Structure 1
Amino acid sequence: MPVVAIIMFIGMFCLNIVQLMSIQDGLQEWWGIPGWLAFVIGFLGLVYGGPIIGLLLGVVGFFAAMNVWDWAWWQAALLCFPAVIFAVALTMLDGVFSLGSAMRRKRL
């Protein structure tokens, strides 16, 4: 197995554990659910819930990181929605390169 794949696996595993902790704290704080039950709900929702339930739990984790852990909004967004932020950054980068390519073609 390549080293990069192992590093990515470990990084994503750690990220998912912190996301699950955020979801668990949000469910405990707002709905008064016991810790073990909040963990089970969060785990089963993330693994078997599909994209809609996963998105809803991501929103719970986002607001829990902001309100329970007192994180800034951008830190909570990086924790709970890293793929969206990565996609937006790549889209912006693609636009910059496309603009540069168009300007170079016009000059030639």
Structure 2
Amino acid sequence: MQVFIGIAYFAVGIIQLFAIIDGIDHALGWGGVISFILAMVVTYIPVLGSVLGVYGAVNAWDWSFWQAATLFFWYIPVIAIMGIASMALERRR
């Protein structure tokens, strides 16, 4: 399970990187190199990267908000479910 989550987190991070690059370019009109460098810094900061990824996907790629939020915030329900399952298993002991 950990391997799957790690691969999914990495894959979504790559998509998120490109969404952030396009979002920065859309919002600020900066060139690709500066947008890429800034996106590399913020992509894997959990909430900030997700918010900026949603912004880029919605405004630069014309996705709906719910599509982008589902893709970039997928880890929140997964973490919640894993936490609840962990608490339930601890309670059984």
Structure 1 or 2, whichever has the larger Rg, is 1
What root-mean-square deviation, in Å, do the aligned CA atoms of Structure 1 and Structure 2 show? 2.7
Count of paired positions: 84
Q: Which residue of 1 aligns with 2:90?
A: none
Q: Identity of paired residues, percent?
A: 30
Q: Which residue of 2 aligns with 1:75?
A: 67
Task: Provide TM-score, normalisation by structure 2.
Answer: 0.69
Larger relative contact order, structure 1 or 2 (CA cutoff 8 Å, min sep 6): 2
Q: Which residue of 2 aligns with 1:39?
A: 36
Task: Provide TM-score, normalisation by structure 1.
Answer: 0.61
Contact 1:22 1:64 in 2 (8 A): yes
Which sections of structure 2, spanning at least 5 residues, go unmatched? Answer: 86-93
**Higher helix proportion (structure 1 or 2):** 1
Written as runs of structure 1 = structure 2, the 5 A alignment for 1:1-108 is 4-47=1-44, 54-87=46-79, 90=81
Residue 13 and residue 40 in structure 1: after superposition, are their counterparts in 2 closer, same or farther (change >3 A)?
A: same
Instruction: List, as ranges, runs of 4+ consecutive aligned residues in structure 1 with deviation greater than 6 Å.
Output: none
